[in-house]
Amino acid sequence: MQNSFTEENYLKIIHALSGREGQEVSTNALAESTSTRAASVTDMLRKLADKGLIHYKKYQGVRLTETGEKVAINVIRKHRLWEVFLVEKLGFGWDEVHDIAEEMEHIPSDELVERLDAFLGHPRFDPHGDPIPDAKGNLTEPDYLILTDVSLGEKVLMMGVLDHAPSFLQHLDRSGITLGCVIEITEINEYDKSASVRINGSHSLFISLEVSKNLLVQRR
């Protein structure tokens, strides 16, 4: 028995919301993320539990089972590989690919995924800097810093984004902030935590706390 489009989406979202420690995810959090009502979530949770994809006890929240985790990670693998394809091969912008990948991630065919992976040269990260699980289902989240945790004067590498919204990504494009660029913090305003930064040692610009909060970076 195959998992439906909808079931796969639930698993992927449970994976995302339960975070690194695999914490319990609440019905309401899922209703929010799936844009459905809590009652609909409860129905689906019962179904996923019956299929052995989640651990579920009424009123207690849910966690993925080993099987559920495997399915979720495979969907994530496909999503991120297709995003690489769309950007690297078809020339889409990183702000344009998420919704398309959201559809492509559900195409079933292990052979397809493996061939796509090879065609793309076994990429390790997607266009947003998110790690791509390997064929065996290993997904290691690199431990990046958020730019707000970086001190005045430090130089860091831009490694990823927390907000994947097109509007945010387009804002970064306009600011000249791209994956891999060097960000040096030249000023921090105590009042609102806004900052001035220098990009790749050349142009300077002002960024708000909202932007800093959504930038993943790494010390060099």
Partner DNA sequence: AAAAAAATTTAGATTAACCTAAAAATATAT
Partner DNA sequence: ATATATTTTTAGGTTAATCTAAATTTTTTT
* Residue 103 lies near a copy of itself (rule: CB under 8 A): yes
Q: Which residue has the tokens 């292990």?
A: 110
Interacting residues with DNA between 15 and 34 (CB under 7 A):
26-29, 34
Instruction: Say if CB 176 and CB 203 are below 8 A apart.
Output: yes
| Strand 204-207 with 195-199, pairing | antiparallel
Give backbone dihedrals phi and psi of 216, rounded to 5 degrees, phi first: -95, 130
**Which of 53, 117, 115, 119 has its CA nearest to residue 80?**
117
Q: Out of 72, 116, 159, 188, point to the residue binding a copy of itself (CB under 8 A).
A: 116
What are the two backbone dihedrals, phi and then psi, of residue 26, each rounded to the nearest 5 degrees? -90, 155
The alpha helices in 105-214, defined as continuous H runs, are 110-119, 166-175, 209-212
In the structure encoding, which two tokens stand for residue 53, read together? 């994809």
Choose between 185 and 216: whose C-beta lies nearer to Mn ion. 216
Amino acid at 144: Y
What does the alpha-carbon distance between residue 27 and residue 102 come to, in Å, rounded to a whole number? Answer: 22
Q: Which of the choices DNA, a copy of itself, Mn ion, none does residue 107 contact, using the CB cut-off of 5 to 8 A by kind?
A: a copy of itself
Total Cβ atoms within 10 A of residue 27? 21
78 touches Mn ion (CB under 5 A): no
128's contact among a copy of itself, Mn ion, DNA, none, with CB below 5 to 8 A by partner kind, is Mn ion
93 touching a copy of itself, by CB under 8 A: no
Question: Which range in 51-59, 87-95, 126-134, 163-171 contacts DNA by CB under 7 A?
Answer: 51-59
68 binds DNA (CB under 7 A): no
Binding-site member from 20, 21, 59, 220 for DNA (CB under 7 A): 59
User: Judged by CB under 8 A, does residue 110 bind a copy of itself?
Assistant: no
Which of the choices a copy of itself, DNA, Mn ion, none does residue 92 contact, using the CB cut-off of 5 to 8 A by kind? Answer: a copy of itself
CB 84, CB 101: distance < 8 Å: no
Please select the residue that binds Mn ion; options are 82, 98, 214, 217, rule is CB under 5 A.
98
Describe the crossing of helices 27-34 and 5-18 by its angle, rounded to 10 degrees: 120
Among 112, 135, 146, 152, binds a copy of itself (CB under 8 A): 112
- Give the residues lining the site for DNA (CB under 7 A): 4-7, 26-29, 34-47, 56, 58-61
Binding residues vs a copy of itself (CB under 8 A): 86, 89-92, 96, 99-100, 103-104, 107-109, 111-112, 115-116, 119
